[in-house]
Amino acid sequence: MLRKYTSEHDCSLSTAQSSHMQAASTVIGNCLIDDFRFMSIDCSIPKEIVHKARTNLGVNISYEKAWRAKEHMVKILHGDTVESYALIPRFFDKLVKSNPCTCTALEMDDSGHFKFCFMAFGASIEGWKYCRPIISVDGTFLKCKFGGILLTASSQDDNNQIFPLAFAIDPLLDKYFFSCAYAYTVEEFEYHMRCIESVCSNIKDYLSSVGFEKWSRTYSRRRMYRMMTSNCAESLDSVFKDLRELPVATMLCSIRDVLQKWFYGRSKAASTMKNHLTSWAENILCLEHEKSRRLLVDPISTTEYQVTDGNQ
């Protein structure tokens, strides 16, 4: 509590220190928090804090102190990183009640510590039947205090747009599994499978019972439905890249906010459609129709035609 304030500064400049010991990271964070309230939390923030502290406050601080000031601001604006894990059950409970048909899962280890969580919104589950029958899965590293991996599952809807399906956070995801799933050849697949078996000896039997063809590129017998790359999942990861430094509960809530805006915007656009086809499909038909005007079509049977280029 402040009991006495002397407005006249009588300390000699010879006693001043460049480290500004009184300018603690919490003080810097409290003074500058309004300047960063609506900015994305990324690695450039500490440099901005160093600049703002010098230009706005006349204080020179180190990068380390600026980093701690950033952590203090994140805690004030988005919650504590440790306490955030305890908020996940309550967030999932509210999410299921406010979004019918939403599916969530949370698992703890034997010590009661966070193991992994999963969520798929009801709108995503309902819309999956209108997407291409292929799922693109990718993972991106979280940059919060305890790390982990944010897994995203997505597809493409009938308007050729990215359609988010599900999200999961797994702090212990084995890199060998993704290498195995993305392998192009049997030899590469078997190599990564042996790496997985070196960690868990009975995992191959379990994955075999699920079916290699359901999750591995090597054994997949399905058509790719024009999705020959992982650009869909990578694009989705880039959308959430600014959320990776947030506490997990805040990050999950922010993902919900993004999807809410996406689904509302697409629903509003769909309500104004005048055709049975989406705008993407309609444009393709228009382009193909323009090309067909230069072709000669002669029937062979009721189901077969001979098509020749009229310009040749």
Are residues 143 and 45 part of one domain?
A: no
Residues 6+ apart with CB under 8 A from 267: none
Fill in the amino acid letter for 142: L
Decide: 30 and 77 in contact? Cβ < 8 Å: no
Tens digit of each residue's pLDDT (9 = 90 or more) over 59-87: 888 888 888 888 777 777 777 788 888 89
What is the C-alpha to C-alpha distance for residues 80 and 176, in angstroms, rounded to an integer? 32
Instruction: Please classify residue 89 by burial: count the beta carbons closer than 10 Å to its beta carbon, then call 0-12 exposed, 13-18 middle and 19+ buried.
Output: middle
pLDDT per position as a tens digit, 226-264? 555 666 667 777 788 878 878 888 899 999 999 999 999
Residues 108 and 71 occupy one common structural domain: no
Same domain, residue pair 228 and 115: yes
Q: How far apart are CA 148 and CA 70, in angstroms?
A: 20
pLDDT tops 70 at residue 13: no
With b for 16 or more beta-carbon neighbours within 10 A and e for fewer, the 4-39 pattern comes to: eeeeeeeeeeeeeeeebeebebeebbebbeeebeee
Residue 265 has a pLDDT of 92
Instruction: Give backbone dihedrals phi and psi of 65, rounded to 5 degrees, phi first.
Output: -65, -35
Q: Is residue 295 part of a domain?
A: no
Question: What pTM does this model have?
Answer: 0.70
260-283 tens-digit pLDDT: 999 999 989 888 888 888 888 889
Residue 202 placed within a domain: yes
Q: In Å, what is the CA distance from 158 to each residue of 88, 225, 236?
A: 33, 12, 17
Number of domains in the chain: 2
Please check whether residues 113 and 254 belong to one and the same domain.
yes
pLDDT of residue 21: 60
In terms of Cβ atoms closer than 10 Å to its own Cβ (0-12, 13-18, 19+), residue 133 is exposed
Residues 288-304: what's their mean pLDDT? 89
Kindly report, residue by residue over 171-188, the tens digit of the pLDDT. 665 567 778 888 889 999
> Which of 250, 268, 286 is the C-terminal boundary of a domain?
268
184 and 157, same domain (yes or no):
yes
Q: Could you list the residue range(s) of the whole structural domain that residue 54 is in?
A: 19-78
Whether 48 and 120 map to the same domain: the answer is: no
Query: Are 160 and 203 in a shared domain?
Result: yes
Within this chain, do residues 141 and 238 fall inside the same structural domain, yes or no? yes
pLDDT of 122 > 60? The answer is yes
pLDDT in tens, 143-155: 777 778 888 899 9
**What pLDDT, in 10s, does the model give residues 22-50?**
677 777 777 777 777 666 655 557 888 88
- Looking at the structure, do residues 161 and 212 belong to the same domain, yes or no? yes
Residue 224 has pLDDT above 80, yes or no: no
